[in-house]
Amino acid sequence: MDDIKRMKELAELLNRAGKAYYAEDREIMSNYEYDSLYGELEELEKKTGTVLAGSPTLKVGYEAVEELPKETHPAPMLSLDKTKSREELRAFIGEHPCLLSWKMDGLTVVLTYREGELFKAVTRGNGIVGEVVTNNARVFVNLPLRIPYHGELILRGEAFITYSDFEKINQEIEDVDARYKNPRNLCSGSVRQLNNEITARRRVHFYAFGLVQAEGVDFQNSRKEQMEWLKSQGFECVEYRMVTGDTLDEAMGYFEDQVGKNDFPSDGLVALYDDIAYGDSLGATAKFPRNAYAFKWADEIRTTRLLEIEWSPSRTGLLNPIAVFEPVELEGTTVSRASVHNLSILRDLELGAGDEIQVYKANMIIPQIAENLTRSGVRDIPEHCPACGGETRISDREGVETLYCANPDCPAKAMKAFTLFVSRDAMNIEGLSEATLEKFMAHGFIRKFSDIFQLDRHREEIIALDGFGEKSYENLWQAIERARETTLPRLIYALGIPGIGIANAKVICRAFGSDPEKVRTASPEELDEIDGIGEVLARGWVSWWQEEKHQEEFRQILEQVRLRKEEESQEEKLKGKTFVITGSLEYFSNRNALKELIEKQGGKVTGSVTKKTDYLINNDSQSSSAKNKKARELGIPVLTEKEFLNLLDEEEKL
């Protein structure tokens, strides 16, 4: 077991060093140290006969399939009978030693190993028929692809995505409404991808929780021995405690204390008889096996007073009711808000300000309203959107009522535009996340871009918001003050004019001497003369500026910012040249840094290879990627970074 633990440590350290060296152009260890640790890992893999997924000694070939084949399980995979009563669980355990473990909230997968290699992975599906996901299982973060045991091994476990990875993945999705609702849904979709490169990026983990078959191994009639044997083969197993009815309380205390600290999703506990023969002799009902019992957390319920219903606009136009109540302690945290989801649920609960309500955390995580004790009734459904003041309407679809804003120009619907406005390449305002923007819009603080620079008018209200305070406000306001000094291309890009990226914005502004008035009033003929700006972009540009509201917004923003001239290169060596960048970089910290250099030298960077492309930059010039193939077909030179720098004669400057 110590060897497996050391292998995991080595793999994590070597992968971190590799990423720093190849992707970030920095070293966290010497080549000698890297080679020494790599050799140690290879020796341990030979000694144990185990190779873990993610080991730097492996070269994973990503593969896509056209569909996931279906497969019938040899025996139905039954769900577990469950209870919320500790005493009922104690009665089930009695004097029989049991493994008490986490009830994981992910996707159950059945694995088969043959001759020491992962042979097959099948999802639980409906319990009768599952989907074959072998390709995807090969890229699970912590799954051994080779094990020392060479007989046929069949085991069950849970695929899951950690809370921390779930948050990272969601933060990369600009569209708030497109973000995943919970780690379980994300995991289910990730495990069932047709392209396992996507699965790999989602960082799916696997915990084994049950052994089905391992020919020729004596487990001494013990489930515990099975779990420990699986660990010796390189599997991470679900954490468990050995209990009887007499020792249950101590173990339960541990799990209750730990659940809020875990980085993985769970929705209860499972008790499994250690005695294999005894458990199997009990058989099963039509729905449940009798050798195990699930325990669902009894919800901790607190009574509090409803202060108000806050209506939160979303970019789809929906106005979501949020119950705001006097703060209460739930599962170790202070809670003061809970989503009510829609108008129908609001009416069912008859929620009104001042009502006495009971709240809890679903699965000990998500605040919910359990009951309204006084039921004063729904009132004050807003007739006007809090974000824009536009008219609201009630929609009834299949018996579910929702409230939405009827204004097509509602700023909440234009959340993507506001997200672009504050993004790094645009106005670069740190601290204005989508969640914060949405909250400010819901309170009417922001209705147009220029309002962002006047948030000091709402200083006291912002400081009083849930999750804010004096320091948070000051940090945000300092970021806004820094953003006031900007360039015209950044501002033009921030406006979100269709088809105008940062590169085109720079080209247009340069053509008109970075004069805001000349840029605003440019004619189609003038724009058409600019290299890289075609007729379609020119027409779109002029059409956008013809709307008075756009011109007025531009004027108001100009009153709030200070424009500085961009530093222009003395010699534009790449003027008129178009580049495409692909693959990992060695000399530049990221693609934006390389793109910025090209644009400063008068060049242009696009996303796809066409006949207008002059150069493709890719350190792997022999790659079989689609962009390399296209470049070869069109006779476009493929440059490595070093060749590109030689082209610029810039090597000494880096």
Catalytic residues: 103
165: which 2 tokens? 């990875």
Strands (DSSP E) found in 314-427: 318-330, 333-339, 356-362, 366-372, 392-397, 400-405
End-to-end CA distance of the chain: 47
Residue 408 corresponds to which amino acid? P
Instruction: Please state whether 317 falls in left (phi above 0), alpha (psi between -120 and 50) or beta.
Output: left
Contact 298, 317 (CB under 8 A): no
- Coarse DSSP helix, strand, coil percentages of the chain, rounded to the nearest 5 percent: 35, 25, 40
Residue-by-residue DSSP string for 564-580 = -PPPPPSS-TTTT-EEE
634: which 2 tokens? 């069109």
Strands (DSSP E) found in 446-510: 485-486
The residues, ordered by sequence, that sit 6+ positions from 549 with a Cβ below 8 Å of its Cβ are: none
Residue-by-residue DSSP string for 226-272 = HHHHHHHTT--B--EEEE-TTTHHHHHHHHHHHTTT-SS-EEEEEEE
Strands (DSSP E) found in 106-247: 107-114, 117-123, 129-131, 144-146, 153-160, 205-214, 240-243
Provide the 3-class DSSP secondary structure of residue 48. helix
For 356, counting Cβ atoms within 10 Å of its Cβ (0-12 exposed, 13-18 middle, 19+ buried), the class is: middle
* Long-range CB contacts (within 8 A, 24+) of 540-549: 540/497, 540/498, 540/499, 541/497, 541/499, 541/500, 541/508, 544/497, 544/498, 545/520, 545/521
